């Protein structure tokens, strides 16, 4: 019963965020730019980061309504990063739709991303219940952190000496930073005490780790229909995931040679175009190595450990509907399939 209540409230909060986002793109801009921005914001998704802002505000005794502008800002900033990520990754689709640079063109996609970031700041500055300079500083640090994380991810593609510790440093910026920004913004807007805001930061930090580790795991063992993209994409792109790095530490012989070949895929492409069957065979072989090395179970444990740490952080917050929902949300992300 409690779970169904949380699911319904999550859906209501997401609908509230969606309505607010839909109201932001108004007539007056060049049509291509306006339409591209509206297209991005109508793409749906979990709206997780926005909802974390709202729940963070409520969890310290504040109002979700007062945090709506900041919630929209974080969600728009997240979508700005996705537009530019898709360009860098040459991604043809996002959430089952053509990416902006495919549906329009590269220049329009770049301008749309830049415009979305400006709209995000414009929304953030409409918040009236916290120091605007402090909010801007926190938000800006988040933007820089995400960009630094993305840059590290790109650098790792050219390096064969990436450590697991390096991986965690990267995901704490690329994935985790926006979650900590979201929870901290909510805490500040809700009038939280310093120790409560620190607790929300710890919650977001460990939730971000668990979220990315689960994403890495789903890329290997998920269902393509539920996951929303082809399984094994990280392997085929040679991404330095927790699974690849940990398995490479543990493997020897032919297994190690295969993983080394995966890590070189960005720098040393195949001499000829691979067939679909060959790509699938590589994914199957690497998954078997992961299983043999025990890194699938190891990753599951890392997800559970970071989720448990996130829940411990919540103990510093008073019991409330928002507290209960944050607890539920952390568990739901562990067991997600997409």
Query: What percent of the chain stands above pLDDT 90?
Result: 74
97 three-state secondary structure: strand
What pLDDT does 270 receive?
Answer: 65
| Residue 198 and residue 71 in contact, taking contact as beta carbons nearer than 8 Å | no
Whole-angstrom distance, CA of residue 77 vs CA of residue 71? 10
Residue 226: pLDDT over 60: no
Helix (H), strand (E) at residue 98: strand 97-98
| Residue 142 and residue 181 in contact, taking contact as beta carbons nearer than 8 Å | yes
The dihedral built from the CA positions of residue 232, 236, 239 and 241, taken in this order, carries a sign that is positive
Range of the domain at 143: 2-334
Residue 312: pLDDT over 60: yes
Residue 227: pLDDT over 60: no
Number of domains, the chain: 1
Give the pLDDT confidence of 246-267 residue by residue, as tens digits: 999 999 999 999 999 998 887 7
- Buried (b) or exposed (e) across 216-234, using 16+ Cβ within 10 A? bbbbbbbeeeebebebbeb
185 three-state secondary structure: helix
Residue 93 DSSP label: E
Residue 274: pLDDT over 90: no
Q: Where are the beta strands (DSSP E) in 110-162?
A: none
The whole-model pTM stands at 0.92
Report how far Cα 88 is from the mean position of its chain's Cα atoms: 16
DSSP string, 104-115: S-HHHHHHHHHH
User: Which CATH number belongs to the domain containing residue 63 in this structure?
Assistant: 1.10.600.10
Average pLDDT score over residue span 211-222: 91
Give the pLDDT confidence of 127-178 residue by residue, as tens digits: 988 899 999 999 999 999 999 999 999 899 888 789 999 999 999 999 999 9
Give the pLDDT confidence of 48-99 residue by residue, as tens digits: 999 999 999 999 999 999 999 999 999 999 999 999 999 988 888 888 889 9
Residue 225: pLDDT over 70: no
Please count the other Cβ atoms lying within 10 Å of the Cβ belonging to residue 109. Answer: 21
């Amino acid at each position: 019963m409690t779970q169904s209540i949380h699911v319904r409230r999550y859906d209501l909060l997401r609908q509230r965020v969606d309505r607010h986002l839909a109201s932001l793109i108004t007539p007056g801009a060049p049509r291509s730019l306006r339409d591209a921005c509206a297209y991005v914001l109508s793409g749906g998704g979990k709206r997780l980061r926005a909802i974390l802002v709202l729940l963070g505000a409520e969890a310290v005794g504040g109002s979700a309504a007062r945090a709506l502008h900041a919630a929209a800002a974080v969600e728009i900033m997240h979508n700005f990063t996705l537009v530019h990520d898709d360009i860098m990754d040459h991604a043809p689709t996002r959430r089952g739709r053509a990416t902006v640079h495919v549906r329009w063109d590269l220049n329009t996609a770049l301008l749309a991303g830049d415009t979305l970031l400006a709209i995000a700041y414009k929304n953030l500055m409409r918040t009236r219940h916290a120091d605007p300079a402090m909010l801007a500083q926190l938000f800006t640090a988040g933007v820089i952190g995400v960009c630094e994380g993305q840059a590290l991810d790109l650098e790792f593609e050219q390096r064969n000496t990436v450590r697991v510790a390096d991986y965690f440093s990267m995901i704490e910026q690329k994935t985790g930073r926006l979650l900590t920004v979201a929870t901290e913004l909510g805490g500040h807007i809700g009038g939280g005490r310093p120790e409560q805001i620190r607790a929300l930061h710890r919650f977001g930090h460990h939730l971000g780790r668990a979220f990315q580790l689960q994403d890495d795991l789903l890329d290997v063992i998920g269902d393509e229909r539920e996951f929303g993209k082809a399984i094994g994409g990280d392997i085929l792109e040679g991404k330095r995931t927790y699974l690849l790095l940990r398995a490479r530490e543990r493997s020897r012989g032919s297994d190690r040679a295969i993983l080394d070949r995966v890590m070189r895929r960005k720098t040393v492409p195949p001499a000829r175009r691979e067939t679909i069957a060959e790509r699938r065979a590589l994914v199957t072989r690497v998954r078997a190595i992961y299983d043999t090395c025990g890194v699938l179970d190891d990753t599951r444990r890392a997800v559970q450990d970071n989720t448990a740490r996130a829940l411990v952080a919540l103990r510093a917050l008073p019991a409330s509907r928002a507290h209960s929902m944050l607890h539920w949300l952390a568990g739901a992300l562990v067991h997600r399939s997409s």
